Amino acid sequence: MHTPVPDHLLDVLDQCSLDDGEVAGYIPELARVDPAQLAVALCTLDGTVHSAGDAEARFTIQSISKPFVYALALAEHGTAAVLEHVGVEPSGNAFNEISLDPLGRPRNPMINIGAITTTSLASIDPDQRWQRIHSGLSAFAGRELEVDESVYRSELEISSRNMSLAYMVKAHDRLEGDPDRVVADYVRQCALVVDVRDLAVMAMTLANQGRNPITGEEVVPAAICRQVLSVMMTCGMYDAAGDWMSNVGFPAKSGVSGCIMGALPGQVGIGVFSPRLDRFGNSVRGVRVCERLSADMGLHLMQAPEAASHVLHSLGDTPETDKDGDGVRQMQLQGSLHFAASEAALRELARIPEDDTIIEIDLDRVTAINSVGKRMLREGVRRLRLDGHEVRVLDGQQHLGGQDQ
């Protein structure tokens, strides 16, 4: 059998081959691209990459570099220090606007003014900055990325607007180092060459708490990924962030070369490429592909998981008694134990009267438990014991780490 996933991706591409939109013309080199290209790739948690369409097509990463350089800046300086330089609020302005908050900070790191600021923070040592950006983004991709020198030079020649943004931030004392050099590094990071598979792996690294699913390298800590994905969710799709949230519903970033990268935490990384852009600067067909994938595969973050109401597999007294004749009440839990499921389980446990019954909690049908679920269940066991119950935890898969049996 062949897995149907790549066939499904092909179907999605077939259904999304619209012809509207325009390729970005303001960077001369980008205007030369073949507008008909269309490609998609998905990367799973175990590093499997499925792709369809023009998956070999290479393009410059452009603004999709921004969340990764933000991650590097957070790793270098810590969240609090980075927040002093650049905020996390959606701007409601075009990507290249002078968009400062009342404190004089760029509003977020996904618009140019904020991204140029985070580029300045990517390394404490300005001489190491480009090296760090290059090696950092390559580690996210799991291979050494190259710069498209002609796109780099082409954009550098028309960089007066980005230069003016950098000088504006410098004037507010939020940009580190020399604005001209920072903009050169920013333009260079935008000219790194990727394909949709790279984007899917880079996205999956963010969605996998910072660990590259192919190389196994921990590129940045999990807490940084949470911060980056949050900012992508609210600010990643230019002015269309609200539409994106309601129609697609996973954190994403787009770039003017026509690429979109989506990351659903714990599940999947997505890369899409098609050069024609809508009026917001997002790839027309890329947005459509993401809408379809989200609907078909249930990827919208606000689509509630079903597990919470089904946490209890069974509850009842077993025929067993101990030597004093006390009965055994057995509770079998199932599925994934996060806050809501554990809360429901604890409520069931709370109904048990304070008597001499032995309580057996069977976790063998539990498929996953997060740290909150663990804490809650351990606390429930502790309280049952305080009430005088003997509590046995059947935990063959060591969900609770073997401490409570």
Do the annotations mark residue 256 as ligand-binding? yes
Nearest residue to ligand GLU, scored by beta-carbon proximity: 63
- Look up residue 17 and give its two tokens: 């081959």
Beta bridge partners of residue 361, listed in sequence order: 331, 393
Q: How far is the CB of 200 from ligand GLU (least distance, A)?
A: 18
Q: How far is the CB of 85 from ligand GLU (least distance, A)?
A: 18
CB of 373 closer than 8 Å to CB of 380: no
Strands 358-369 and 390-394: parallel
Do the annotations mark residue 70 as ligand-binding? no
Q: How far is the CB of 270 from ligand GLU (least distance, A)?
A: 17
- Look up residue 389 and give its two tokens: 């119950």
Annotated catalytic residue 256: yes
Q: How far is the CB of 254 from ligand GLU (least distance, A)?
A: 7
Do the annotations mark residue 238 as ligand-binding? yes
The overall longest dimension of the chain from CA atoms, in Å, is 87
Q: How far is the CB of 96 from ligand GLU (least distance, A)?
A: 6
Q: How many C-beta neighbours within 10 Å does residue 388 have? A: 10
CB of 207 closer than 8 Å to CB of 265: yes
Rounded CA-CA distance 347/286 in Å is 45
CB of 275 closer than 8 Å to CB of 23: yes
Q: How far is the CB of 111 from ligand GLU (least distance, A)?
A: 8
Answer positive or negative: Cα dihedral of 365, 44, 70, 128: positive
φ, ψ dihedrals at 108, nearest 5°: -160, 165
Write the single-letter amino acid at 203. A
Do the annotations mark residue 348 as ligand-binding? no
Rounded CA-CA distance 222/300 in Å is 21
Do the annotations mark residue 208 as ligand-binding? no
* Nearest CA among 51, 114, 399 for reference residue 253: 114
- Which of 33, 66, 287, 342 is the catalytic position? 66
Q: Return residues touching ligand GLU (CB under 6 A).
A: 62-63, 95-96, 112, 155, 162, 190, 255-256, 281
CB of 297 closer than 8 Å to CB of 67: no
- Which of 69, 238, 289, 366 is the catalytic position? 238
Do the annotations mark residue 167 as ligand-binding? no
Annotated catalytic residue 374: no
* Nearest CA among 245, 251, 207 for reference residue 233: 251
- Which of 12, 40, 49, 63 is the catalytic position? 63
Annotated catalytic residue 238: yes
CB of 163 closer than 8 Å to CB of 175: no
- Which of 33, 183, 256, 272 is the catalytic position? 256
Q: How far is the CB of 393 from ligand GLU (least distance, A)?
A: 52
- Look up residue 50 and give its two tokens: 């499925």
- Look up residue 321 and give its two tokens: 């008694």
φ, ψ dihedrals at 82, nearest 5°: -65, -40
Angle ∠(248,87,151) on CA atoms, nearest 5: 70
- State which H helix or E strand residue 162 sits in: helix 160-171
Rounded CA-CA distance 335/167 in Å is 54
Beta strands in 240-285 (DSSP E): 252-255, 259-264, 268-273
Binding-site residues:
63, 112, 155, 162, 186, 238, 256
Binding-site residues for substrate:
63, 112, 155, 162, 186, 238, 256
| Catalytic residue positions, numbered | 63, 66, 186, 238, 256
